[in-house]
Amino acid sequence: MSKFTFSKSSSTTTQSPVAIKDGVHVAVIVQVAHVGLQLAFDREKAPEEQLAVTFELASGDTVTKRMKFSDHPHSGCFALFNAAFADPSETDNPEPGLADLLGKPVLIEIEVRDGKWPRVTEVLALEDGFEPIEPKSELLEFDADEMDSEVYKKLHRDIRALVSKRVRSS
């Protein structure tokens, strides 16, 4: 058997900058997922149930945000539901769930780090003067506790990564 030696490539690979720019964008929610228990940033805290949402911009570019399930007024989850259901008369469901978010137009504020990593910093209700957009991609709902492999394969890569990192026992 021949000896194998690992060496790094002499060519440096650089990731091209993303097309998404800093600022406020009109978006539509195209994917929602319950991603299961996720480890907290503070390793002393217990894992928490989290959700992830993929937003599609008018350009067709997508960006994903994860957040813990919370009805605290300063939480991302609270902001997401308030933005999507700014007008309570738009829904027949008095307690909307993840599936009810699909196709909802919102405003999102994006911060791009190092020209490569877009991050949703704020989710806001669609304000007057902004036209809602129609989704170009398929609307998907996913639950890590009820794995559907066909839906899983269609999810945004960031959501798939979160599902694979979930805590399977506590």
Q: What is the tens place of the pLDDT at every residue in 88-104?
A: 666 666 778 899 999 99
Structural domains of the chain sorted by starting position, each given as residue range(s) with its CATH number in brackets: 23-164 (2.40.50)
Nearest to 120 by CA among 135, 109, 105: 109
Predicted model pTM: 0.82
> How much of the chain is helix, strand and coil, in % rounded to 5?
20, 30, 50
CA-CA distances (angstroms) from residue 7 to 1, 34, 40, 122?
A: 19, 40, 35, 42
- pLDDT at 67 > cutoff 70: yes
pLDDT tens across 95-153, in order? 788 999 999 999 999 999 887 788 899 999 998 889 999 999 999 999 998 989 999 99
Interatomic CA distance for residues 68 and 101, integer angstroms: 16
133 three-state secondary structure = coil
